[in-house]
Structure 1
């Protein structure tokens, strides 16, 4: 296995076409990642309309993340072997149909089923987008499209509550939640059509008859489900025995690794474990897993704090997160341009910025307890957003820099699987801290938010430590 090749000159027409293809992919990525957070603000409206139980609501929110993470690596491998365009268009078509079905739901069971399928469709789409960038761009020139992708990830996660609140305000409390799903339909139709026209297909005359490693797919799927289930059901499954599923899942993943090593001697594996021999891929994946554990949880607890605790509307709660989204967007574009110059230290600077911004958020709430929370937190969240923009895109660029194009989809899928597991673990841990603190402090929402935000900040600080380790190891290796 060799690393990616150096870039070759590209003429203006070809450069325009590849950016058009990436543009379609970014729209699809934005839409699928938006659905991770946009539904959060729709829960009260959805609950009243469908008379859903707490367990139903938990599955509406977490079932999407579960199936999303489940299919990432197999979908990425399928795109590597059979063509990214086919996988992309299929995923977008399925996402569009399931979005329409979710919006038409008349019962909780209907909606949960649609969300599970919608999450699986999102998991098919996302590794194709990263694999497409790896395929169309080479070496240092990947930094710019990865920068735009990083901005897409940051904005979609942060702006979800804002867009959800706006749609509910327009559609009304009774049916506004349906438009949270219906908004995907026209975008999905256009993305599927343009994806078929603009994304490159597999070259003619080069059929790929490689098997897709069904045993590997099964082992990885079982392992990921066993790890994610107790995390996404943390509030609903009260028995402590649920945590036994995590070591069981880890054991299955060890079996997956052993199987992949054996299978690689005979055929193309689902995931090439030799990617972990690249320090950039290993530590970059670890940073992503840990960072998403703190990053994703922030919006979950902030929405709860503003809506349920302080009584703000869904729209105001979404607007309060806008400074983070704006800072993330601006910094991601910058990070994509300068990551090749600064490398991993840029990621460390971004992580430090996030830690400082979140710590300042806690301080601001304590110094001005009677001031409107959205105004008090705007400045610190802007700082945290700028830091986040210097983390996601640059880290993704550095992590995938040495991944060969034939493994781009599966490599990206494993990276994103780690992000989904990290996000689920972070929401479970930070959410548990939030609700336990709320109970211990007799319903003091501010105290609960501050305590859980400190935990999220600590998780992100662990990602900073991993980045510093990478920097030190790289410098010691350079000296030797």
Structure 2
């Protein structure tokens, strides 16, 4: 097939002395920060939204799960669109759409409009977010990526700190009588700034040969994810109807058809939506499995944690936000240290230690919630939250590094889309399971006088599930490589040498 556009370097990598790549990094990280803050802001404001808008438990789930579902369903497509049409171009389109959707969320007049706007916001994030990692992957040589992913982990921690606090402050301040709405409207100036500066400083990059968007693949992956997540989210409310079970079973059939179709399309024209060859890279395949299960744990924990503190314990949004600060700080610190100091020395053991440490924090939190009951205080939560945050920080940044370490640059967008897709799919599955592990456990305490106890018991039940999932993650991590490729091969400052190293490593993996 003849290429219709100019190949991007191993080619699109700016020279080592070019400061523009660091400006570009700041811009894409700001966009990632905006997306992350938006998710955490929404979590802390959910009880206020429920009270002000009269939203049902199902609608509350959809405010979060609708975003995650649209995000998951569109991420692979978003990553591939970046490969085809240019990562910079698609990134800027995503930023513009995300900013517009944020405005619609802030102006929503009822829960239905808010859910619809959140779904649109998730779809636009699916265009924006995959470009972040693929722009980094295409812009920075291998020896600099460890430092960049360390920064990315720190941004994750900073977003986790800023989101709840910002959401709590904006909700309590009730700016201009708008209540919770400024949590979305604050994205507008950030989005406009990212558009202006991104157009100036981000270097365009594409796949080195012409690709076409696989529309059949888009339809199959979207259908499969919808068939799996929608019944999970609505199942409890509808009494777990037969069609829900059939839909979830059928989702795996659809995904199997997707794999068969993508294999044929790859052989026919080399332009599949899902690059199946990536799964022959052991680090990528194992990392994808870990990302999926990790997303389930996070999806369960963060929603039930917010509802427990505000609806169960009766805390204000500000107190709940401040209570989460130790967790977020621990994530940020541990993420930076893990990539820079620990992974080069200890490799996979760092991630496994992170899973065990996080599980220990969850179990400690479970014990405290039962021991102190409704009289538990913020400072008593601090220790388990610090332990949990440290464990999570040891996982998040090194895992991304390990998954992408052996991926060829021409598939950076597809790989990035897959990484984010499986994490968001896991997140959406976790949010769907909240119906079972949290709201289901509350049904035994229907009396209004027992609302606090119902939330406390349901929270403990959910924590037990999270601890079990982290145990599964620990076992899955044995399939990860002992060390990411760049730490094994050594650092190279030349982009072409990096490409050769990746190609050699892929051939070695294929032989193994």
Say whether 1:115 aligns with 2:125: no
Change in 2 beyond 3 A, CA 1:173/1:450: farther
Which residue of 477, 486, 489 maps to 1:467? 477
Partner of 1:225: 226
Partner of 2:139: 136
Partner of 1:329: 332
Q: Which ranges of structure 1 fall in alignment gaps of 5 or more residues?
A: none
* Distance in 2 (alpha carbons) for counterparts of 1:10 and 1:189: 28
* Distance in 2 (alpha carbons) for counterparts of 1:124 and 1:383: 34
* Distance in 2 (alpha carbons) for counterparts of 1:367 and 1:50: 35
Contact 2:229 2:432 in 1 (8 A): no
Say whether 1:182 aligns with 2:154: no
Partner of 1:314: 317
Change in 2 beyond 3 A, CA 1:291/1:64: same
Which residue of 91, 95, 100 maps to 1:97? 100
Pairwise CA distance, 1:231: 2.8
1:197-256 deviation digits (Å, cap 9, x = unpaired):
1111148xx996421111111111111221221233344333332132222111111111
* Distance in 2 (alpha carbons) for counterparts of 1:46 and 1:403: 42
Say whether 1:74 aligns with 2:99: no
Change in 2 beyond 3 A, CA 1:429/1:60: closer
* Distance in 2 (alpha carbons) for counterparts of 1:258 and 1:20: 42
Q: How many residues were matched structurally?
A: 471
Contact 1:223 1:253 in 2 (8 A): yes
Say whether 1:393 aligns with 2:394: no
* Distance in 1 (alpha carbons) for counterparts of 2:233 and 2:92: 29
Partner of 1:160: 163
Which residue of 455, 460, 464 maps to 1:454? 464
Contact 2:363 2:467 in 1 (8 A): yes
How do 1:333-372 residues align onto structure 2 when only pairs under 5 Å count?
Answer: 333-338=336-341, 339-369=343-373, 371-372=375-376
Higher mean alpha-carbon deviation, 321-330 vs 158-167, is at 158-167
Pairwise CA distance, 1:431: 4.6
* Distance in 2 (alpha carbons) for counterparts of 1:47 and 1:158: 23
* Distance in 1 (alpha carbons) for counterparts of 2:370 and 2:240: 36
Change in 2 beyond 3 A, CA 1:389/1:139: same
* Distance in 1 (alpha carbons) for counterparts of 2:49 and 2:427: 23
* Distance in 2 (alpha carbons) for counterparts of 1:55 and 1:434: 13
1:264-294 deviation digits (Å, cap 9, x = unpaired):
1122211210110111001111111111211
* Distance in 1 (alpha carbons) for counterparts of 2:413 and 2:90: 11
1:277-325 deviation digits (Å, cap 9, x = unpaired):
1110011111111112112322211111111111001111111111110
Q: CA RMSD in A?
A: 2.8
How do 1:193-272 residues align onto structure 2 when only pairs under 5 Å count?
Answer: 193-202=196-205, 209-241=210-242, 242-267=244-269, 268-272=271-275
Higher mean alpha-carbon deviation, 328-337 vs 59-68, is at 59-68
* Distance in 2 (alpha carbons) for counterparts of 1:43 and 1:404: 41
Change in 2 beyond 3 A, CA 1:229/1:11: same
Pairwise CA distance, 1:467: 0.8
* Distance in 1 (alpha carbons) for counterparts of 2:374 and 2:112: 42
1:23-43 deviation digits (Å, cap 9, x = unpaired):
111111111122223223323
Higher mean alpha-carbon deviation, 56-65 vs 91-100, is at 56-65
Partner of 2:68: 65
Pairwise CA distance, 1:159: 4.7
Pairwise CA distance, 1:473: 12
Pairwise CA distance, 1:107: 2.9
Pairwise CA distance, 1:174: 5.7
Contact 2:14 2:21 in 1 (8 A): no
Pairwise CA distance, 1:55: 4.2
Say whether 1:305 aligns with 2:286: no
* Distance in 2 (alpha carbons) for counterparts of 1:453 and 1:340: 32
Three-state SS of the structure 2 residue aligned to 1:211 is coil
Change in 2 beyond 3 A, CA 1:96/1:417: same
* Distance in 2 (alpha carbons) for counterparts of 1:440 and 1:469: 41
* Distance in 2 (alpha carbons) for counterparts of 1:437 and 1:47: 20
Change in 2 beyond 3 A, CA 1:148/1:297: farther
Pairwise CA distance, 1:162: 2.9
Change in 2 beyond 3 A, CA 1:295/1:108: closer
Change in 2 beyond 3 A, CA 1:300/1:59: closer
Q: Which ranges of structure 2 fall in alignment gaps of 5 or more residues?
A: 1-8, 485-507
Partner of 1:289: 292
Contact 2:47 2:311 in 1 (8 A): no
